[in-house]
Amino acid sequence: MDSIVVTGGAELRGSIPIAGAKNACLTLMPATLLTEEPLTLMNAPRLSDITTMTTLLQSLGSEIQSLQDGRVIAMSSLGPVSTHADYDIVRKMRASNLVLGPLLAREGHAVVSLPGGCAIGARPMDIHITALEALGAQIELRDGYLHAKAPGGLKGARVPLRFASVGATENTLMAATLAKGTTVIENAAREPEIVDLAACLVRMGAHIDGAGTSTITIEGVDRLGGATHPVVPDRIELGTYMLAPAICGGEVECLGGRRDLVSAFCDKLDEAGIEVTETGRGLTVARKNGRVSAIDVRTEPFPGFPTDLQAQMMALLCTAEGTSHLEETIFENRFMHAPELLRMGARIDVHGGTATVTGVDRLKGAPVMATDLRASVSLILAGLAAEGETMVSRVYHLDRGYEHVEEKLGAVGARIERVAGR
């Protein structure tokens, strides 16, 4: 099993290209099930999660080609599609549940295993189920599978979400494009990935208004066509690499970065003493003056501070001047990286959903273990600022969401390498 070895102390200078968004691409790929015409995605990230979604869609009958070294994904679901999403594939990744809405809309029935993914909380399917039931679906759980059917077809309806769930918004949005009549999703998620999905569906012929707001209106159509769509830049990869020079010094330009994707995050960086400058090519990041300042962070649905950047921000605050507080409101059990940071000399006290971080002068390199995707990269960031060598094991988590992290950080001066079987 691979490990990442980081030797800290080097300042970073140069540029890092930001890939297409993993969470957007994983949402866009199931949209191929909504049409018999080709759907092509540009600027796709090269990640193991994309491979898993490819395998799932192929198991359902979609034809998928990876072109231009994986940057282009060409898909077609022309022939008959299977309506059974098997546990052996779905268990590997939470986003696999996003085939449920498209299959119901296209075929009127589906059997989809309950999904898996990182162990950062229950993330239940009840919001998805309630939303699709509002459109006329009948869904029951048997033997770990969701058995769904819509005997009379899906019908437009008012769909109030009890929580602004990204996945439930995406599943409902896709299903509603082929439902009869008008669907209004209330308390919809507002993330850029939702806006990107809506833009792609509109290219395919859907009628959607309000994406990016808390109320999305969809007028169902009889059929959708093909399209070519560029995947939005990955705001979580962007935020992660913005933190690298903030943690260990230097100046890095994140190519393709957009401030509108990470506005609340940028506000917190400014508060901590990190300068973010918009350029013609992206965003440049550097410390303003010496050691960063302690800040308080509360994760919230977009446009608030992203939960997927909480672990990385904790790594920064481990060496900040003063005491910081991080409140996690989205997922329970998402401070599993804290004990690993403690092994590196951090001072962190976790009580329920709040972590108190008292900055230290310097972290110390140590062997640590990744517990989930974002925790893995937070340990790499901490290693950049630590004295000595940090070895991060179980980096298969990392490969689910970051492409060639050692190459991207190495190109700007980080002393980092992947070690096989260590």
User: Within 13 Å of residue 91, how many CA atoms lie on the same side as its CB?
Assistant: 5
Residue 296 known to bind ligand: no
Task: Determine contact, residues 81/58, Cβ cutoff 8 Å.
Answer: no
What single DSSP character describes residue 260?
G
Per the DSSP assignment, residues forming a β-bridge with 213 are: 211
State whether residue 15 is helix, strand or coil.
strand
Other CB atoms within 10 A of residue 160 CB: 12
User: What does 325-346 look like in DSSP terms, one character per residue?
Assistant: EEE--S-TT--TTHHHHHTTT-
Specify whether 118 is catalytic. yes
Residue type, 197: L
Rounded CA gap, 38 and 112, in Å? 24
State whether residue 283 is helix, strand or coil.
strand
Task: Determine contact, residues 379/342, Cβ cutoff 8 Å.
Answer: no
Task: Determine contact, residues 356/328, Cβ cutoff 8 Å.
Answer: no
Task: Determine contact, residues 77/103, Cβ cutoff 8 Å.
Answer: no
Place of tokens 């309506």: 83
Q: Active site residue: 25, 118, 254, 318, which one?
A: 118
The CA-to-CA distance between both ends of the chain, in Å, stands at 6
Residue 295 known to bind ligand: no
Residue 94 known to bind ligand: yes
Rounded CA gap, 261 and 239, in Å? 9
Both tokens assigned to 310 = 């909480």
Residue 23 known to bind ligand: yes
In the chain, helix, strand, coil percent, each to 5? 35, 30, 40
Residue 409 exposed, middle or buried by CB count within 10 Å (0-12, 13-18, 19+): buried
Rounded CA gap, 379 and 26, in Å? 25
91 CB contacts (<8 Å, ≥6 apart)? 113, 115, 116
Residue 289 known to bind ligand: no
- Of 178, 176, 165, residue with least CA distance to 135: 176
Q: Which residues are annotated as a binding site for phosphoenolpyruvate?
A: 22-23
Residues annotated as binding site for UDP-N-acetyl-alpha-D-glucosamine?
Answer: 94, 308, 330
Q: List the catalytic residues.
A: 118
Binding-site residues: 22-23, 94, 308, 330
